[in-house]
Amino acid sequence: MGINSNRVENFSDPEAPLPPGLAMQMPPPLEVHRVCLPPPKTTVEKLRHRLSEIFFPDDPLHKFKDQAWLRKLILGLQFFFPIFQWAPNYSFKLFKSDVVSGVTIASLAIPQGISYAKLANLPPIIGLYSSFVPPLIYSVLGSSRHLAVGPVSIASLVMGTMLSETVSFNDEPILYLKLAFTATFFAGVFQASLGLLRLGFVIDFLSKATLVGFMAGAAVIVSLQQLKGLLGIVHFTTKMQLVPVLSSVFHHRDEWSWQTIVMGVGFLALLLITRQISMRKPKLFWVSAAAPLASVILSTVLVVCLKSKVYGIKTIGNLPKGLNPPSSNMLYFNGPHLALAIKTGIITGILSLTEGIAVGRTFASLKNYQVDGNKEMMAIGLMNIAGSCSSCYVTTGSFSRSAVNYNAGAQTVVSNIVMAAAVLVTLLFLMPLFYYTPNLILAAIIITAVIGLIDYRAAYKLWKVDKLDFLACLCSFFGVLFISVPLGLAIAVGVSVFKILLHVTRPNTGVLGNIPRTQIYQNLSRYREAIRVPSFLIIAVEAPIYFANSTYLQERILRWIREEEEWLASNNRSNLKCVILDMTAVTAIDTSGIDTINELRKMLEKRSLKLVLTNPVGSVMEKLHQSNILESFGLEGLYLSVGEAVADISSTWKSQP
């Protein structure tokens, strides 16, 4: 932890005359500026400003300023219902693009909806219901032009895992369905509340590192769970950990069906090949988009044609025709499992919200428009509330379907309406056609969809850039694999919170030196050309000073001073006289921090060392002033910059006899 000593020989004691060559290079004397207080504000004004910065950083109401009441009414409708913003300018040209993209994503949404419902241990028809009502709600309330709404793999997995740990979907199917709808309701309430109260920062605790590990772990578990369908196993574990799943696969080898394996592996290979084709040639996006529906049709035809010759291939069976039946009477608001429904709803709500907003913002940045995160939360929340009352489970924006939607040329959310219309036709007229659809094709579709969640490149980047983020990623990944999906997520969030606490309680500090022939002071360990200023120790604190880190900062500053004095003594340099605390990066301070600075000043005074503060920001300066601590520092205790402090104090020393 030593201090950089390079080029220190260029400085001499400030009381001695400078060499002629160096004197020519020194900058002219600096004018000393007074450190000003921020403009006075009342407590109410401060509170209003602070709340505005916390909850309204984007100033969403700026468009309403200086507008007539009729214009404000129109802007209000556009603000709460984005459909009023784009609908007046909608054209037939845009409609043609939206129809093409809507039909394209419908070909993907129908088989995925059925598959993801099975993943959540729900009847397959629920997946189709969830691909009909929510997209219609989102098309009115959503602000993303490219977000394709429907069931997603991660939320389906988490819901299925959490509910099946307590309630068996085989033994108590009605209760399980009630809990799924109730969890969806609470997910929607939670999401809409975050948007209404502008508390979107809550989901920021799911860091990118956490999600990378969580999604990779979930993708592995989901893929292994699909071995049940690919191998034709009847008695399979309901657990979601790596060891029980693999044990179940090999303990039931007698149930493996070679017909199912051959057909399942063949269609899985076909789907993976089409996925690779679309990834390598984005213009051929339609190949992977159409592949799931084409596989469903082809596998169904094969089963029908070979049903008299091939036995043991399990099929979906009968799916009821008709529109979504109302399910508000099935919401479970009292009973022993209410807490489970609430917990499941909140966790799936957070995950689906994170995925939906991230996907929406990704495609918005590609087309240079903005997605309002809080409005998206309200839109996704309200569509899940409506969905819970119309036989739907948790839905959000799917990355795979949104990518297809974008590549297919979607211009507005009308593509969601077109997709919903295609699902409607399927619900009304085509359901009998799915009777002979084999379960193996659903397993293959799920594996193909979730395999893209394993982002090894992102994990490698985390390792290169931030080892602590990589640790959070690993904790999330292995937690999901070996413990459980919810606990794995909780462990990862805990690691992320620990990282935040570590940065808060153990902030960075560093010793600054002067860049020759300038008034710039930078970290000695970073800039080899920076040199010490004789008799001065300049310490930069790079964090707010709070009760949580004030004791650490005091100990660390005293250590810097001790190391500096030891180095000066061992190199026969001039004694240390002044410690400058650069507060440029100290964005806030509390009473504990103020007390720490005051105690540090008193300790240094007893050792004949002067403590000087430089460049405190407005809020810090105001609190220092109100605490009356500045009076004890005197006229030479507070400066606008490190350069002014060094120049002024040095000139004072020179003028002394």
Give one DSSP letter per residue of 526-574, joined into a string.
Answer: T-TT-BPPTTEEEEEE-S-B-TTTHHHHHHHHHHHHHHHHHHHHHTTPP
Give pLDDT, residue 79: 84
* Residue 576 and residue 561 in contact, taking contact as beta carbons nearer than 8 Å: yes
Q: Is the pLDDT of residue 432 over 50?
A: yes
* Residue 583 and residue 550 in contact, taking contact as beta carbons nearer than 8 Å: no
Give pLDDT, residue 12: 37
Give pLDDT, residue 136: 95
Alpha helical stretches, state H, 307-413: 338-366, 373-388, 399-407
Residue position matching structure tokens 């008034």: 519
- List of residues 6+ apart from 472 with CB closer than 8 A: 207, 209, 210, 213, 492, 495, 496, 499
For the record, the structure tokens of 217 come out as 């772990």
pTM metric for this prediction: 0.81
Report pLDDT digits (tens) over 321-331: 999 999 999 99
For the record, the structure tokens of 72 come out as 């404000």
What is the average pLDDT across 426-445?
Answer: 91
Report pLDDT digits (tens) over 221-245: 888 888 888 888 877 877 778 888 8
Q: What angle do CA 366, 367, 372 make, to 5 degrees?
A: 95
Would you place residue 313 in the very low, low, confident or very high pLDDT band (cuts 50, 70, 90)? confident
Strand partners, 523: 512
- List of residues 6+ apart from 531 with CB closer than 8 A: 6, 7, 8, 10, 11, 513, 514, 516
DSSP for residue 392: -
Alpha-carbon gap, residue 646 to 538, rounded angstroms: 9
For the record, the structure tokens of 262 come out as 């051959």
Report the range of poorest mean pLDDT among 252-256, 518-522, 590-594: 252-256
Report pLDDT digits (tens) over 246-286: 898 888 888 888 888 899 999 999 999 998 998 888 888 88
CA 58 to chain centroid? 18
* Residue 133 and residue 456 in contact, taking contact as beta carbons nearer than 8 Å: no
CA atoms within 13 Å, Cβ hemisphere of 146: 27
Would you place residue 1 in the very low, low, confident or very high pLDDT band (cuts 50, 70, 90)? very low
Q: What percent of the chain is predicted at pLDDT more than 70?
A: 95
For the record, the structure tokens of 197 come out as 């109260």
DSSP for residue 37: P
Average pLDDT, the chain: 87
Give pLDDT, residue 300: 92
Strand partners, 511: 539
Question: Pairing mode, if any, of strands 638-639 and 610-614?
Answer: parallel
For the record, the structure tokens of 345 come out as 């709803």
Greatest mean pLDDT among 77-81, 245-249, 390-394, 529-533 lies in 390-394
Question: Pairing mode, if any, of strands 536-541 and 610-614?
Answer: unpaired
Q: What percent of the chain is predicted at pLDDT more than 90?
A: 47
3-class SS of residue 512: strand
Q: Is the pLDDT of residue 288 over 90?
A: no
Report pLDDT digits (tens) over 3-29: 443 333 333 344 444 444 434 344 555
Task: Quote the crossing angle between the two packed helices 399-407 and 92-119, to the nearest 10°.
Answer: 160
Give the other-Cβ count within 10 Å of 66's Cβ: 6
Q: What angle do CA 517, 520, 521 make, to 5 degrees?
A: 115
Strand partners, 374: none
Q: Which of 178, 186, 118, 177 is nearest to 151 (CA)?
A: 118
What is the average pLDDT across 554-570?
Answer: 93
- List of residues 6+ apart from 524 with CB closer than 8 A: 3, 4, 6, 510, 511, 512, 513, 530, 532
Residue position matching structure tokens 């413990």: 483
Q: Is the pLDDT of residue 615 over 80?
A: yes
Q: Which of 400, 363, 355, 365 is nearest to 212 (CA)?
A: 355
Residue position matching structure tokens 């920001």: 617
CA distances from 9 to 20, 510, 567 (A): 15, 21, 13
Report pLDDT digits (tens) over 25-64: 445 556 788 888 888 888 888 888 888 887 777 777 778 8
Give pLDDT, residue 452: 83
Give pLDDT, residue 122: 94
Q: Is the pLDDT of residue 318 over 50?
A: yes
What are the φ/ψ torsions at residue 531 (nearest 5 degrees)? -130, 150
Q: Which of 286, 218, 219, 230 is nearest to 257 (CA)?
A: 230
More reliable by pLDDT, 534 or 489: 534
Greatest mean pLDDT among 20-24, 127-131, 160-164 lies in 127-131
Q: Which of 495, 563, 511 is nearest to 212 (CA)?
A: 495
- How are strands ordered across the β-sheet holding 610-614? 521-523, 509-514, 536-541, 578-582, 610-614, 638-639
Give pLDDT, residue 378: 93
What is the average pLDDT across 349-355?
Answer: 90
Q: Which of 135, 126, 132, 225 is nearest to 177 (CA)?
A: 126
Q: Is the pLDDT of residue 560 over 90?
A: yes
One-letter identity of residue 2: G
Strand partners, 638: 613
Give pLDDT, residue 3: 41
Report the range of poorest mean pLDDT among 90-94, 119-123, 241-245: 241-245
* Residue 265 and residue 316 in contact, taking contact as beta carbons nearer than 8 Å: no
Q: Is the pLDDT of residue 296 over 70?
A: yes
What are the φ/ψ torsions at residue 129 (nearest 5 degrees)? -55, -40
Give pLDDT, residue 62: 79
Would you place residue 596 in the very low, low, confident or very high pLDDT band (cuts 50, 70, 90)? very high
Q: Which of 300, 304, 316, 218 is nearest to 267 (CA)?
A: 300
Give pLDDT, residue 574: 86
Give pLDDT, residue 308: 66
CA distances from 105 to 289, 321, 416 (A): 7, 22, 9
Instruction: Give the chain's end-to-end CA distance (angstroms, integer).
Output: 37
